[in-house]
Amino acid sequence: MQEPARGEDWQVNEVEYDDDSNEFDGFNTYISKENRLVVVKTIDGSLIRGNINLNSESLPMDRVSDLLIKGQNKFLIMYNASLDDRKDAAVIINKSQIVWVMEEANTQTKSDR
């Protein structure tokens, strides 16, 4: 490997980049929240009431049953959940521990509403 000759001047090229964070670059994806308020009963008899996001999987879901049956994730994530005396908790439930899930009426909401 050759060393640069002594006395040789090095020139530095400076390049400025515009930072436009609002532009879509192909890597960032936006997933809207399609919330459902549900009640979940687990095999130990616990009743958990809270919200789930139907678009939490890589493919968006239209129904709660799709999320439970077709979803690849082994866990159901609930937020703003109530369990016993705990309120506004985040709860992660193993789907194999769920006995049933019931959707509350008129709970379809989007985050931009």
Distance of alpha carbon 37 from alpha carbon 17, whole angstroms: 45
CATH topology of domain 34-105: SH3 type barrels. (2.30.30)
What pLDDT shows up at residue 92? 95
- Helix/strand/coil for 27: coil
Can you give the pLDDT of all 113 residues of the chain as single tens digits? 566 566 666 666 666 656 555 554 444 454 567 899 999 999 999 999 999 999 888 787 889 999 999 889 999 999 999 998 899 999 999 999 999 999 997 645 444 44
Distance of alpha carbon 87 from alpha carbon 9, whole angstroms: 67
Token pair for residue 104? 């509350």
Contacts of 103 by beta carbon, 8 Å cutoff, 6+ apart:
36, 37, 38, 64
- Helix/strand/coil for 103: strand
What pLDDT shows up at residue 61? 84
